[in-house]
Amino acid sequence: MLKIIINTLFIISFAFGSDTSRTVETYNNGNISSISYHKDNPDGLELIKQEVFHMTGPKSMVGTFKNGFREGLWTFWYDNGNKRLEGFYKNGQKDSLWTYWYDNGVKATEYFYDNKTKDGKVLEWHIDKECWDQNGNECECGDHWWSECDSY
C-alpha cells in the first residue's frame, strides 16, 4: 500500500512538474490579491500566468504570458463577478476579437484587432440607463460603456 502511495505522489509531482512555482500575494485584509505562476528556465524564473483578485475577493483578471509578453486569452471581471472584458494577445499586442460588457452583464462593444490596430467593424450595444454621480445627484450619462457621467 505504501508503495502505491509513493508511486502516485511521484506521478503527480512529475505531471505537474517541479519546474513551476506559484507566488501568492495578499491584501492587508487577508484576501488574495494575486497569484503568479512562474516557470524555471536557464535565465531564471519566467512569468507564465497571472490571476488578480478584487480586494473584496472575486477574480479581477486572468492572463498568460509567453517570453515576457501577454499571450493568449485574457479575461477581466467587475467586482460583482460579471465579465468586463475578454480578448486575445499575440506577442504582447491586442489581437483578434475583444469583447466588452456593461457591469450588468449586457454586451457593450466588440472590436477586432490586427496586430494591436483596430481592424474592421466596431459593434456597440447600448442600454437605457440613468446615471448618478458619487454624491447621488442625477447626471447626464456618458457616451461610452466605461463612462458613468459626463463631466462639464
Domain edges within the chain: 18-139
Q: How far apart are alpha carbons 38 and 23 in whole angstroms?
A: 8
Above 90 in pLDDT, residue 63? yes
Kindly report the pTM of this predicted structure.
Answer: 0.70
Is the four-CA dihedral 27, 28, 31, 32 of positive or negative sign? positive
Task: Please tell me the distance from the alpha carbon of residue 63 to that of residue 136, in angstroms, as a whole number.
Answer: 35
Model pLDDT, residue 148: 58
CA distance 80 to 36: 23
Q: What is the pLDDT of residue 129?
A: 65
Using DSSP's 3-state secondary structure scheme, residue 14 falls into helix
How far is the CA of 111 from the CAs of 48, 74, 100, 101, 121, in angstroms? Answer: 26, 14, 9, 12, 7
Average pLDDT estimate for 18-33: 93
Q: Indicate the helix (H) or strand (E) that contains 39.
A: strand 32-41
Question: 37 is written with which cell numbers?
Answer: 505562476
Q: Is the pLDDT of residue 8 over 70?
A: no
The class that CATH gives domain 18-139 is: mainly beta
pLDDT tier at 51, thresholds 50, 70, 90: very high
Across 54-74, average pLDDT: 96
Grid cell 483578485 — which residue?
53
